[in-house]
Chains A and B, each alone.
Chain A
Amino acid sequence: MRQVKKASQPSSKALPKAATGIQGLDEITGGGLPRGRPTLISGGAGAGKTLFGLEFLVRGATRYSEPGVFISFEESIPDLTKNVASLGFDLDRLVADKKLFVDQVSIMRSELGETGEYDLEGLFIRIADAVQRVGARRVVLDTMETLFGELPNPGILRAEIRRLFNWLKQKGLTTIITAERDHPDRLTRHGIEEFVSDCVILLDHRIREEISTRRLRIVKYRGSTHGTNEYPFLIDDQGISVLPISSLGLDHDAPAERVSTGIARLDGMLGGKGFYRGSSILASGTAGTGKTTIAACFVDAACRRGERALFFAFEESPRQIVRNMRSIGIDLDPWVHKGLLQFHAARPTYGGIEQVLLLTHKRITSFQPSVVVVDPVTNLLMVSTQNEVRSMLTRLVDFLKTQGITTIFTSLTAAGALEASEADVSSLMDTWLLLKNIEVGGERNRALYVLKSRGMEHSNQIREFVLTDDGLRLLDVYLGPEGVLTGSARVSQEMREKAVVTFRRQELESRRRELERKRRIFEARMVMLRAEFEVEEEIIQQTISESELLGEEVVQDRGQMVLSRQADSSSYKKDVRAKGARRP
């Protein structure tokens, strides 16, 4: 290929470029269009070619002090001025300031005849004069190919156009030539791309599913690397914006700072500190599970800290969100008034997905929030294919991360496919909160759990999620033999448990009482027994002492009898002592 040959030249190292000033384009092209060379902008009707050219000139004149010349072959100058006034380009002023020169070439075919050779010297003179008047560095020839319809003898015309391009190149003018693309197989109607060998950019405006999307692609850029993808672009009140976001790498910072979720128990579930700043959070769940509420809580907490928050509402109007959140005790109104909270509400169907992405970008860049909510991200699927949504989200997430913005995306999932989050966005997310409805006992109750949270310890438990008049509360769910119980089932289970406990306590107490009673009886009996015993003891003691006394009297009596009989007294005494010792 010719391209390869050219690219191998050493000069390609420092190919000078002229910044277009078109948002995003200079990033894709690595600095702009080839300086001092012609660039072909090709596209179908309404693709934005004229605007592209004009913005190139206006930005050049206002930002890079490079005046420009616009040669219009189609539109009249007043029309042109009017058309771009809505984009904030004041052509009349630029013309008055000698920063821009606009000329219209119009040829009346009907009055025209041809005899013999001609050249386009008249056009050359006009351009040269215009360039000289404002000291132009940039030139735009808007749909020069119309000359083929107006002037006879295409052979001459082609040669002249080739000469014109060479001449522009010689003069070192950075030129844009627009051309109509009438057939997908070719770039221009009359094949003038063969004269413009340096840079070709294709603009495309296609309609799919009734929604228009604009694309830009750099078909070739000699001597320079460039993004080769199709980049979505948008035309709005600030001109053209191209989305080069995929060119960003994955080298964003990873702050260790943590931000509260606005729900104390949820912070607790996330290692006690909440989300990482700059992380992206997905809150997915079926309809009515409280996704927006979680987002609102987070926004509320951010505003309380004095940070700015931006809320993209793709489903509800801002007033509706504020009203609904007030019903659960979250008042967002003061933050709106303080300027800490901005809403951006629009149905994504209004524009294409690119438009949504660009608007998101623009709002974020201008507002510089630290917290962003996209509610819900799934609504974007309505306007585009899954693939596009995913690529758009990748871009958006990357962008938000480089900006260090913490973002909550809510995602509406169809019941039954909870964990297969739409558009497979979950892998882009750092934290995934799953909200689900648990159906028990004829009622649905909300439950929340942290499905994943990168880089932090997080709870594996399901929490019941209750919306009360004064905010959102997370409760432990009842985990019983019948599984997870929530709502009134949980309440009744708790009551049942309470009853069981009370019953046990009562039973215990009555046992204790019985024991006490038995002890008392026992003690009473003991006292009685002791008393009886004492009585008996006394009697026995008495009997013993009586008998002892009686024995001694007998001995004494016997002694006296011995004495009186005059027997051997000593031997008798001995006998009596031995008898006494043997007695127990």
Chain B
Amino acid sequence: MPTTKRKIRARPRKPAPRKPVVWNLRLYVAGQTPKSIRAFANLKLLCEEHLKGRYQIEVIDLRENPQLARDDQIVAIPTLVRRLPRPLRIILGDLSNSVRLLVGLDLRKID
């Protein structure tokens, strides 16, 4: 049984150069539940608004791949993980509170 440690998390990369980073967001869901659908919609809306063209959303259904829940230490659903830019950020919930989502993703600073 593998206990994966996230190497990426352990050593944050050096600050990225001026060139805008492509945001890598991962949304963990468990099937098509109203909460996860809502979360995806909320996320999409926000990204379109603030990160148009420089974001990437990966939706992972843990029902199909339970091992990933262990590997990525997912307990709550839905969970949004900002993999890039560093540092890692994790946000729980259906992302209905857009203000808190912006704070959580640290979006306002970048803009």
Decide whether A and B are members of one complex: yes
**Contacts from A to B (Cβ < 8 Å):** 76-78, 95, 101-108, 111-126, 128-129, 147, 151-152
A147 to B103, CA, bound (A): 23
Q: Could you say which residues of chain B place their CB within 8 Å of the CB of A128?
A: 66
Main secondary structure of the interface of A (DSSP, over half): mixed
Shortest distance from the beta carbon of A406 to any chain B beta carbon, whole Å: 52
Query: In the docked arrangement, what's the CA distance between A294 and B35, Å?
Result: 80
**Docked complex Cα distance between A116 and B104 (Å):** 12
| Nearest neighbor of B66 in chain A, beta-carbon distance | A129
Q: Which of these, A77, A101, A106, A118, contacts B93 with CB under 8 Å?
A: A118
Residue of A nearest to B63 (CB): A125
Find chain A residues with CB under 8 A from B100 CB: 113-115
Find residues 1-59 in chain B having any chain A CB closer than 8 Å to their own CB: 1, 3, 28, 30, 33, 35, 38-39, 42
B84, CB-defined interface residue at 8 Å: no
Task: Give the Cβ gap from A2 to chain B, nearest Cβ, in Å.
Answer: 31
Rounded to whole angstroms, the CA-CA distance of A120 and B75 in the bound complex is: 6
- Could you say which of A78, A120, A121, A147 has the most chain B C-beta atoms within 10 Å of its C-beta? A121
B100's nearest neighbour on chain A, judged by CB, is A115
Q: Which of B3, B67, B75, B98 contacts A129 (CB 8 A)?
A: B67
A111 to B92, CA, bound (A): 11
| Chain B residues whose CB sits within 8 angstroms of the CB of A147 once the complex forms | 75
How many Å lie between the Cα of A104 and that of B5 in the bound state?
12
- On chain B, the residues within 8 Å of A107 by CB distance are 73, 75
Distance between A125 CB and nearest chain B CB, rounded to angstroms: 5
CA–CA, A415 and B5, complex, Å: 68
Chain B minimum-CB-distance residue to A117: B94
Query: What's the Cα separation between A78 and B90 when bound, in Å?
Result: 25
Q: Which of A116, A123, A124 contacts B94 (CB 8 A)?
A: A116
**A113 close to B1 (CB less than 8 A):** no
Contacts A111-B88, A116-B39, A122-B74 supplied; 11 other A-B pairs, CB < 8 Å: A102-B1, A113-B103, A113-B104, A115-B97, A116-B42, A120-B77, A122-B69, A125-B30, A125-B62, A125-B63, A126-B69
A102 partner residues in chain B, CB cutoff 8 A: 1
Within 8 Å by CB of A152, from B3, B89, B92, lies B92
Are A118 and B94 interface neighbours, CB within 8 A? yes
